[in-house]
Chain A
Amino acid sequence: KAGVTQTPRYLIKTRGQQVTLSCSPISGHRSVSWYQQTPGQGLQFLFEYFSETQRNKGNFPGRFSGRQFSNSRSEMNVSTLELGDSALYLCASSGPSGGGEKLFFGSGTQLSVL
């Protein structure tokens, strides 16, 4: 069974640009969560999608948005990039019921904003 796949693996952007990251969950998983990981702030929850609906959202500005498609694949978008957006962005999927009893993480997308 394939794991959680995130693309691209690395991204370099400049301030003011926008970026779209992709996450394909494990087959059969309907919940996809996104996290931002930085050395100073640790893992911070961005949002969770379940069956194409945003179920919860973390404390991030509106520049951060996401969506989920009918095949459970998810994308997150960051507009008007700032230097502070440089981070490892992780997505995680969980089982058919979308419970948090076990998260499966992708390897992440390392975003560098110059």
Chain B
Amino acid sequence: AQSVTQLGSHVSVSEGALVLLRCNYSSSVPPYLFWYVQYPNQGLQLLLKYTSAATLVKGINGFEAEFKKSETSFHLTKPSAHMSDAAEYFCAVTPGYSSASKIIFGSGTRLSIRP
């Protein structure tokens, strides 16, 4: 079975500061891991994904995430926050390549950016 836990329902950082959003997963088989972003009044958009290749994954808008099997983590980072990064971020897991119905989403982390 798979599950994902996002630590912190709300994170606030200053513009220009490091963004760190935490995600831990549980999976009985090698997982695929994802970060999605949701801007106000919109659907979710894929930021990046890990599918068993390189453990450091680069995504859109300057975000990246590192798959750490020993820590069962897939934290999302961005070196310098921008006001436009304010949104809700969802970590998700699937048991490797599988149908869309197998994807499990975390509860989300709302990112606020202070001027």
Tell me if chain B binds chain A. yes
In addition to A101-B94, A103-B44, 12 A-B residue pairs with Cβ atoms within 8 Å of each other are: A31-B99, A43-B105, A48-B101, A55-B99, A56-B99, A100-B94, A100-B98, A100-B100, A103-B36, A105-B36, A105-B43, A107-B41
Interface residue A102 (Cβ < 8 Å from any Cβ of B): yes
| Total residues of chain B contacting the partner, CB 8 A | 23
A72 interface residue (CB < 8 Å to B): no
B13 at the interface (CB under 8 A from A): no
Interface residues of B in 49-100 (CB under 8 A from A): 49, 51, 90, 94, 97-100
A92–B101 Cα gap in the complex (Å)? 10
Cα distance, A78 to B55, chains bound together (Å): 42
User: Could you count the A-B residue pairs with CB atoms below 8 Å apart for me: how many are there?
Assistant: 69
Q: Is the interface of B mostly helix, strand, loop or mixed?
A: mixed
Cβ contacts B10-45/A at 8 Å (1 or 0 each): 000000000000000000000010001000011111
